């Protein structure tokens, strides 16, 4: 463990030098990447330095305990026990830093939410989840932008795709991928019966042009006229764009922007993200099926969470996490819940180390 943190210190110092170089300062992508990693390492090393300080304090307190007697010995013993508790807690946190680093942890993301079983109620729940994530993003100072949407007559969504930009995004939101189930009395229900519906959520790390290059000959780009709900917003030009990656059959399309070039840019971003996920998923399944089964793969077909409105309860089934503040979480207060979820999922991973 100590050797790894020495490596982190070395990397931190190297990044400090890189961040002062003109070629990095003038390169937005590199500057953003290095600054994020620098900030992450700063927090890690702060915890590590505190750990070393506590270990030294424990050493001194144990020495005092051995030398003293009477009341002073009792005070020293009390101090030893307090320090041991702090060290044990901090050790768990430090060990989590030793887990394999997700190269996409700091990436911006594209979130895809689709209605599933439950008809119109599922579409309404899709809209509820979208508003929840947008409010959460706002509270974190993150930027959201709709890429594509298919709205229903009652204000729900059959599908909505949007991007989120900010700090440490994928590490926060990657655990959201999967099937989200809701149990509540729908707005369309007159008899007061509780219905169960579901939506699927997919969180994809974004992939830039430099990271994920696409060959033009592998792409088929189709343009067509966009249309909105009830025939509104019908464009008089072929501004909507659909891009197909011929070798894999992966498709991305966008029609929400008036400009064809803007729709093309968004569709390309979506395509890169989907292709990246496809490649990563194939690699992960071949590499470590056992671990993915144990901690939950985040597979889009896996039921991960239930939102029970009558009982004001939200349950994450992967780690059996239950909280009774659903009303606040739906309003975007996700931080505490996601932190607890990350903690429990880390504990499962650490148990396998």
Q: 56-71, pLDDT tens digit by residue?
A: 999 999 999 888 888 8
The verdict on 240 and 271 lying in the same domain is yes
Whether residue 211 lies inside any domain: the answer is no
CATH of the domain at 121: 3.30.70.1660
> What's the rounded Cα separation, in Å, for the pair 320 and 343?
13
What pLDDT score does 286 carry?
A: 65
Residue 231 pLDDT level (bands cut at 50, 70, 90):
very low
Residue 224 pLDDT level (bands cut at 50, 70, 90):
confident
Looking at the DSSP bridge assignments, the partners of residue 13 are: none
> What's the rounded Cα separation, in Å, for the pair 234 and 228?
6
Query: What is the signed CA dihedral for 89, 90, 92, 98, rounded to 10 degrees?
Result: 180
Whether residue 238 lies inside any domain: the answer is yes
Select from 257, 285, 313 the last residue of a domain.
285
SS3 200: strand
The verdict on 240 and 270 lying in the same domain is yes
Q: Match 């300062």 to its residue by tokens.
A: 25
Whether residue 210 lies inside any domain: the answer is no
Output the pTM of the full model. 0.69
More confident of the two residues 31 and 231: 31
Whether residue 135 lies inside any domain: the answer is yes
The verdict on 242 and 133 lying in the same domain is no
Residue pair 148/272 in contact by the 8 Å Cβ criterion = no
Longest Cα separation, the chain: 90
Strand order of the β-sheet with 321-323 is 143-151, 157-165, 109-115, 195-205, 178-184, 303-308, 313-316, 321-323
Q: Match 């993003």 to its residue by tokens.
A: 137
The verdict on 232 and 178 lying in the same domain is no
What pLDDT score does 292 carry?
A: 45
Supply the Cα-derived Rg of the chain in whole angstroms.
25
For helices 70-96 and 28-67, angle between their N-to-C axes, nearest 10 degrees: 160
Whether residue 102 lies inside any domain: the answer is no
Please report the DSSP string for 273-296 in residue order: HHHHHHHHHHHHHHH-HHHHHHH-
The verdict on 303 and 281 lying in the same domain is no
Choice among 40-44, 202-206, 209-213 with the minimum mean pLDDT: 209-213
Contacts of 346 (CB under 8 A, 6+ apart): 96, 99
Could you tell me how far CA 302 lies from the centroid of its own chain?
Answer: 16
**Ramachandran bin of 131, using left for φ above 0, alpha for ψ from -120 to 50, beta for the remaining angles:** alpha
Select from 268, 285, 302 the last residue of a domain.
285
The verdict on 38 and 74 lying in the same domain is yes
* DSSP 8-class letter at 110: E
* DSSP 8-class letter at 101: P
What pLDDT score does 250 carry?
A: 92
Give the mean pLDDT of 219-240: 68
Q: What is the total count of domains within the chain?
A: 3
The verdict on 168 and 278 lying in the same domain is no
SS3 343: helix
Whether residue 103 lies inside any domain: the answer is no
Whether residue 101 lies inside any domain: the answer is no
Phi and psi angles of residue 157, each rounded to the nearest 5 degrees, phi first: -130, 130
Instruction: Tell me the residue range of the domain where 193 lies.
Output: 109-205+292-352
7 pLDDT higher than 80: yes
The verdict on 331 and 249 lying in the same domain is no
SS3 350: helix
> What's the rounded Cα separation, in Å, for the pair 69 and 230?
85
The verdict on 335 and 302 lying in the same domain is yes
The verdict on 269 and 148 lying in the same domain is no
Residue pair 125/155 in contact by the 8 Å Cβ criterion = no
> What's the rounded Cα separation, in Å, for the pair 15 and 101?
17
SS3 238: coil
CATH of the domain at 255: 3.30.160.20
The verdict on 11 and 35 lying in the same domain is yes
> What's the rounded Cα separation, in Å, for the pair 282 and 314?
31
Select from 69, 96, 123 the last residue of a domain.
96
Residue 158 pLDDT level (bands cut at 50, 70, 90):
very high
> What's the rounded Cα separation, in Å, for the pair 188 and 177?
27
Residue pair 76/65 in contact by the 8 Å Cβ criterion = yes
303 pLDDT higher than 80: yes
The verdict on 151 and 199 lying in the same domain is yes
52 pLDDT higher than 50: yes
Whether residue 281 lies inside any domain: the answer is yes
348 pLDDT higher than 60: yes
């Amino acid at each position: 463990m100590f050797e790894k943190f020495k490596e982190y210190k070395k990397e931190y110092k190297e990044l400090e030098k890189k961040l002062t170089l003109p070629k990095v300062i003038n390169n937005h992508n590199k500057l953003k990447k290095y600054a994020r990693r620098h900030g992450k390492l700063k927090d890690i090393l702060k915890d590590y330095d505190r750990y070393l300080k506590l270990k030294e304090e424990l050493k001194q307190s144990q020495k005092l305990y051995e030398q003293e007697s009477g009341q002073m010995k009792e005070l020293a013993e009390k101090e030893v026990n307090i320090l041991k508790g702090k060290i044990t807690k901090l050790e768990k946190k430090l060990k989590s830093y030793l887990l394999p680093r997700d190269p996409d942890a700091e990436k911006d993301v594209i979130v895809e939410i689709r209605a599933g079983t439950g008809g119109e109620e599922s579409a309404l729940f899709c809209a509820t989840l979208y508003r929840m994530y947008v409010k959460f993003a706002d509270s974190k100072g993150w930027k959201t932008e709709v890429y594509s949407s298919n709205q229903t007559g009652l204000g729900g969504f059959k599908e909505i795709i949007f991007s989120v930009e900010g700090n440490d995004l994928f590490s926060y939101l990657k655990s959201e991928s999967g099937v989200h189930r809701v149990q509540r009395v729908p707005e369309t229900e007159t008899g007061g019966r509780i219905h169960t519906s579901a939506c699927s959520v997919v969180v994809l790390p974004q992939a830039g042009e430099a990271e994920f290059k696409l060959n033009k000959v592998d792409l088929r780009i189709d343009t067509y006229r966009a249309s909105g709900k009830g025939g509104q917003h019908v464009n008089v030009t072929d501004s909507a764009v659909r891009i197909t990656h011929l070798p894999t059959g992966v498709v991305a399309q966008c029609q929400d922007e008036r400009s064809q070039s803007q729709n093309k840019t968004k569709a390309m971003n979506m395509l890169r993200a989907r292709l990246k996920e496809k490649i990563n998923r194939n690699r992960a399944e071949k590499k470590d099926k056992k671990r993915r089964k144990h901690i939950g793969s985040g597979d889009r077909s896996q039921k991960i969470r239930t939102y029970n409105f009558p009982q004001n309860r939200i349950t994450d089934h992967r780690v059996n996490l239950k909280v009774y503040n659903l009303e606040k979480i739906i309003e975007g207060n996700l931080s505490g819940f996601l932190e607890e979820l990350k903690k429990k999922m880390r504990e499962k991973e650490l148990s396998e180390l």
